Structure 1
Amino acid sequence: MKIPEAETRLFNRRFVCRKCKHKVRASASRIKEKTIVCPKCQSRNFRPKSKEKRVAA
């Protein structure tokens, strides 16, 4: 992505639930400590949002 403001808005502090794919905005330290709970499925496992689009092969 070329525009830095858009990149920070879309990817900075954005995490995706590994179980239900719900997107959550939180600090990385709180995700690491597992204090953030997914509002949809109550899971505590998150990954950072991908910055690249996946292309079907």
Structure 2
Amino acid sequence: MVKTKIEASVNRIFNRVFICMKCNAKIRADILKVRDKKVKCRKCKSNALRQKKKERKA
């Protein structure tokens, strides 16, 4: 039961979440739409989005 709660929270935090590379805004969108450049940042209207990283690089 605990494992499913952890998996659900990881999916909510990281699945389909993208970060704007210009203003660091967080956007939830479909992967295919982001790849086809159909999704823009709400703040700066940029198409440069990256996926949210699961681990921090030191």
Please state which band the TM-score falls in when normalised by the shorter chain: 0.7 to 0.9
Q: Which residue of 2 aligns with 1:22?
A: 25
Partner letter of residue 20 of structure 2?
C
Q: Whole-Å Cα distance in 2 between the matches of residues 14 and 6 of structure 1?
A: 13
Unmatched tracts of structure 1, length 5 or more: none
Unmatched tracts of structure 2, length 5 or more: none
Larger relative helix fraction: 2
Q: Which structure has the greater CA radius of gyration? A: 2
What is the percent sequence identity of the aligned residues? Answer: 41
Shift of 1:6: 0.3
Task: Spell out structure 1 runs of 4+ moving beyond 2 A.
Answer: none
Task: Give the alignment's TM-score, normalised by structure 1.
Answer: 0.87
Aligned Cα RMSD in Å? 1.2
